[in-house]
Amino acid sequence: MYKSQFTKLIIISILILTFIVDGQLVTSEESQTKNYLKPIGQIFALNCGIAATNRYIRDVDYGKISFKTIETNLLNPWVWDADNFTVNQIGHPYQGKLYYTIARQYGHNYFESLVFTAFGSMQWEYFMENERPAINDLITTTLGGAMLGEITARLSNKVLDNSSVGMIRFAREAGAFIINPMKGVHRLIHGSMFTISSKDKNTIKNKIKFEISSEKQIYSLLHSKGIDEEKADSTTTVPFADYNFKMVYGDPFTSKKPFDSFSLNLGFSFRKDIVGNVMGKGLIWKKNLRSEKNAHSIFGLIQNFDYLTSQTYKIAASSFGIEFMAERVFFKDWHFLHYHQVGLIALGGASTEYYVKVERDYNLGPGAIIKTGFYFYKDNFAKISIKIDRFWIRTISGAEGVESVGVGRFEIQKNIFKGIGLAASYVFYDREGRYFSFPDVQVFNHEFRGMLTYNFY
């Protein structure tokens, strides 16, 4: 009886909250004043919809919820779950970005939307699964969701143009919907998707740089201790993707609000060993140290999201850091940009050979980061770059110990014709796992790669 009543409650909640909480048609795309009730109601409705899908369409065990499962979740402490790496490190941030972008539609800034994202995650953990609430899910959903949410919110705004018509309008609306589904739903309900208006002259026109690249491994080498070398397939020794989409949004030296400047790298490899990369970096706050015509420097607070995975090696982290960044322009538009960041990892995950307590092939815990980069370049001509990231993760869930992981790239690139270029790179993945109850593990993989690139603005 209780399960039947709970099912009806979910369905009724979805209908009421979707059509009444935000049912009125308004002319503006986004609320001019902040609203607190509507995003709370819509986040709850979204969770109810996902829960109903899990229960009645996917028919998964963890979706079979009732008042009894809610009571159990509320009365018991939080745990570390055993979900696979992709679900925990990408699936939950994606769900969090849906919560975040709902809040952004109602006048809330980055920090306020971050709170709504945490609310959505907690509500999901307590009410929408029959598994105990997981602390790692709360952290990755909130922090990863806020970062991906702010990035996709800004990108969808860049794609949309309310003055466009016909197939161009359809393509823009469809593209924005894919990038930011909750904004698409919002525009559909409010009628903005079909309203033709003049172009907004007050829209912030942040410059965006894009690079698409295809890489081919030329030579690779593996040095390891404490792992099965046959497991480390020599064709995929470094968890960097073969096909990459890179984007730099805005100017960090002129930014004023959180994420007025950010970078994003998406990469995939579709070989026997599938590789996936998602790496984002956003400027939350800055202090100008130097601002001249040909020289700039800032001190800033950065949010990072890092996700690199292959069948053999995995590393992911949600972190915040303090960064110094400087740029100088030399003769004939040559730029020298460098940055140096130190910070804390709220939650990170790294590969492990030891499945301890949970059937999971990675460890979880907080830690620290160091990131540094050097770029010497001239737009549409050539670029030399060095980028190194190092992660330290103190295992709380998994094989107890400390994971130290470093990834880096040295790259030389030359444009040859209208944005098309050739490049050569040296990449490495280096990991050391020191454990309290298990043998230590050491890995150093490095590769030389050839690349075909295309840059556009």
Segment 140-155, tens digit of pLDDT = 999 999 999 999 999 9
| Per-residue pLDDT tens over the stretch 279-315 | 999 999 999 999 998 999 999 999 999 999 988 889 9
Specify the pTM: 0.89
- Looking at residue 23, what is its pLDDT? 42
Q: Hey, what are 420's tokens?
A: 């098309």
- Smallest CA-to-CA distance from 23 within 46, 42, 3, 8 is with 42
The C-alpha atoms of residue 236 and residue 89 are separated, in whole angstroms, by: 21
Rounded mean pLDDT, 24-52: 74
- Looking at residue 270, what is its pLDDT? 81
For residue 65, is pLDDT > 90?
A: no
- Looking at residue 199, what is its pLDDT? 66
Percentage of the chain modeled with pLDDT above 90: 60
For residue 386, is pLDDT > 60?
A: yes
Is 442 or 321 the better-scoring residue by pLDDT? Answer: 321
Rounded mean pLDDT, 66-75: 91
| Ordered domains of the chain (ranges, CATH) | 2-194 (no CATH), 208-456 (2.40.160)
| Per-residue pLDDT tens over the stretch 119-136 | 999 999 999 998 899 999
Question: How far separated are the first and last CA of the chain, in Å rounded?
Answer: 60
For residue 17, is pLDDT > 80?
A: no
pLDDT level of residue 173 (50, 70, 90 thresholds): very high
The C-alpha atoms of residue 72 and residue 123 are separated, in whole angstroms, by: 14
| Per-residue pLDDT tens over the stretch 217-274 | 888 887 777 666 555 555 557 889 999 999 999 999 999 999 999 999 999 988 777 8
- Looking at residue 19, what is its pLDDT? 46
The C-alpha atoms of residue 284 and residue 143 are separated, in whole angstroms, by: 13
